Structure 1
């Protein structure tokens, strides 16, 4: 059976957050699917805790009510947290609080959701009716005494815990403070771009930080490079060919430029992907050779044999600017198991060798929008999302990587226009990578 689709759009849910706060709405009951009947409603919604009932008169008229009390057996309750609401096309939400000391929550087995005298689906009818004295003032009520319904939905309201990482992605946030976490997304994005663009590496050791992307085939390395390029160019690009059958087969490096032709102090290096066995994918020895700076640009990887000192183009005495200053593992979050046992073993072995070189290591957890449909609908909830948090913790356990070095991101693969929340996640990861590179150079001085 296919999943039941909410009639509320992402924008509707964002607008409702003005009165509900940061919550998750879990669809329990949809009348057009489960039936316009009191029994169907009670079967799905009794004992579910706080709920939001949404009625639809037509596509332009959305209204309903909230109660913090359970629906259940025949009883009446006073719920000072209950309210009615109306949502219009412009995105404004009107909230109507209950009159003091009145019955504002009814649970009647012969009716659907009831708010005082305002009853949804009375006796199984596709209506909202007024069955008695209202618990709300009649002034400016969101719906009349008898309204025909085309749909009725009931959602369990799940309060989200505090975000597991502090970062502001909220498109509706106000610029109320001066620190970077409380800026409107447009300003936040611009500030991050400026911070990266003007970043001065430790003692100007090298003109640009060289960052190596490695990871399983199809993890999203090339797509991440395209996403970074898109942000700095101001349009969605496909500079690194992504989505091919064989993936990257040569060693490629990418610098970036903005419209004004300035360039951030960053080079991303792309490699052939890792495979579980030894018959395909990049050879582990080639990874170490890249990190040490021996592999020339455009080198064609040989799956069976790594580069040798006598290979044409081999860089025998690489300068520090030609070496890798940070290694980034790019891992697909949209898998039931993040890494298979064989891939986990291979990546841990690589980690160990790179750690001996004292190179900083970071994880990009890609495709989080595919891994969790809620994130796909609203990326702003990524640091409130328990599913993504568990994915991050799974990576932390398997690779023994600090959570502060793991960054969930989503790449440009569907959108053809820039999305501020996507950009902020990517830019935040890039800025932290530059800081880790600074740590590396500072350690070289000690």
Structure 2
């Protein structure tokens, strides 16, 4: 259970698969009219300067309704802008939301009333146990659907929403520019390794090739598709490929190489062969090596690197996991991932998890990718990192470009943050430095 709450009706309402507050949270009761009084003074004494909040009204007809705002209450008498505000009603089974239509007048701070949403819905109106309802101004809703036209209140509660976002992200164009500049100017400490190599490993269709295409798109300035990607029951990647991301179409290579492998499949003799993994990690595999699941690479194979340099080795492993399929991952795939993790751990190579297709996993993220760190479902899925021995801080949700024709700033920020994580938190440079003396 994610939170505890006093009111049974609201508790049921809040369990509607994250449709209410967009994620993992808990509610702190600030004001309960039957205890503290049906007055504006009692409401403001307990709720002013608190945010975000959800205000809930109840009537004898059994309706549960109210509103949400991210702005703190006050007694200024002024309207405040809040483009995240919405009204809602709950019929015991379904939650219906009515978003603000004119955010400039989302909430009004009236001293003698309770929660006051525009001129549209007021709970504890004029310090009385009644509701004021005037749909059409700033919020639109059918009155019969909202409260059954029963304006006499039996209860009013206001809750503060705590822990609304479980990871802080700045969704601004300046942040995107900052991330791009950092990645472009990054210089590894060891001069012999100008481009750390990151190996992408994951089940068929998880989005390994799409991740490279998406990162490349960010730096080229338009959606592009260099690596073969798509949907298939078997791996579309059949060769070992090393992709260097360029700053623009003819720009210089960026300080990172993304290495693509054949996808993992649960059945034996299909997909990436675990025995090939050691050769990949140690840098023995030649470029465009054709994977053969039934016959791993041998030292006699054409192009086999017998004495790979430090620059040829893998410096970081990124597990690419489809967020929408974590809960149904087969035992066979889990066993393969566990075997891979053990091999990577023995070599001391840093690891992270890329959670792809977050928009397919959660409808709130599909609606707005900025909800990714508000989604309780994505938060729960993030714990797949513990099954792979990866800290939660090294589990990074991303949204690859698939159907889009234009770049999206918010998708770019997630993708760039993932690349930054490959540089920083997972310590590929530390691994390089620790092994530098061997060469």
Tell me the C-alpha RMSD between the 2 structures. 4.0
1:141-183 C-alpha deviation (Å, 9 max, x unpaired): 958xxx99599658x98825153323323xxxxxxxxxxxxxx
Residues 1:237 and 2:224 are matched in the alignment: yes
3-state DSSP of counterpart to 2:318: strand
In the alignment, structure 1 residue 293 sits paired with structure 2 residue 283: yes
Q: 1:149 to 1:399 in 2, by over 3 A?
A: closer
Q: 1:94/1:203 Cα in 2 relative to 1: closer, same or farther (>3 Å)?
A: same
* Structure of higher RCO (CA pairs closer than 8 Å, 6+ residues apart): 2
Q: Is the 8 A contact 2:51 2:160 kept in 1?
A: no
TM-score normalized by the length of structure 2: 0.69
Higher mean alpha-carbon deviation, 370-379 vs 334-343, is at: 334-343
Aligned to 1:265: 255
Matched, 1:224 2:211: yes
Gaps of 5+ in 2: 1-15, 20-48, 70-82, 93-98, 148-157
Q: What's the offset of the Cα at 1:340? A: 2.4
Moved more, 328-337 or 91-100: 91-100
Per-residue deviation, 1:216: 0.7
Unaligned runs of 5+ in 1: 7-18, 30-37, 54-61, 73-84, 106-111, 121-127, 130-140, 170-184
- 2:181 is equivalent to residue 194 of structure 1: yes
Residue 309 (str. 1) matches residue 299 (str. 2): yes
2:64 corresponds, among 25, 38, 45, to: 45
- Distance in 2 between residues matched to 1:208 and 1:65, nearest whole Å: 48
Q: Structure 1 segments of 4 or more deviating over 6 A?
A: 23-26, 64-67
Q: Is the 8 A contact 2:202 2:208 kept in 1?
A: yes
State the distance in 2 between where 1:385 and 1:431 align: 22
Change (3 A) 1:93 1:406: same
1:378 maps to: 368
Distance 2:411 2:173 in 1: 12
Q: Partner of 2:8 in structure 1? A: none
SS of structure 2 residue aligned to 1:429? helix
Q: For residue 114 of structure 1, report the CA deviation from its aligned partner.
A: 6.0
- For residue 307 of structure 1, report the CA deviation from its aligned partner: 0.9
1:104–1:385 CA distance, 2 compared to 1 (3 A)? closer
User: Aligned in 2, Cα 1:65/1:285: closer, same or farther, shift over 3 Å?
Assistant: closer
Q: Deviation at 1:323?
A: 1.2
CA contact (8 A) 2:114 2:123 kept: no
Q: In structure 1, what is the Cα distance between the partners aligned to 2:184 and 2:131?
A: 58
Offset at residue 358 of structure 1 (A): 1.4
Specify whether residues 25 and 374 from structure 1 end up closer, same or farther in structure 2 by C-alpha distance, changes over 3 A only: farther
Q: Answer yes or no: is the 8 Å Cα contact 2:54–2:68 preserved in 1.
A: no
| Residue number among 301, 321, 328 corresponding to 2:311 in the alignment | 321
Q: How far did 1:371 drift?
A: 0.7
Matching residue within 410, 414, 417 for 2:399: 410
Using the size of structure 1 for normalisation, the TM-score is 0.68
- Rate the CA distance shift 1:22–1:240 in 2: closer, same or farther, 3 A: farther
Which residue number in structure 2 is paired with residue 98 of structure 1?
110
Q: Summarize the Cα distance change of 1:151–1:283 in structure 2 as closer, same or farther, 3 Å threshold.
A: farther
Question: Do 1:86 and 1:95's aligned partners in 2 also have CA atoms closer than 8 Å?
Answer: no
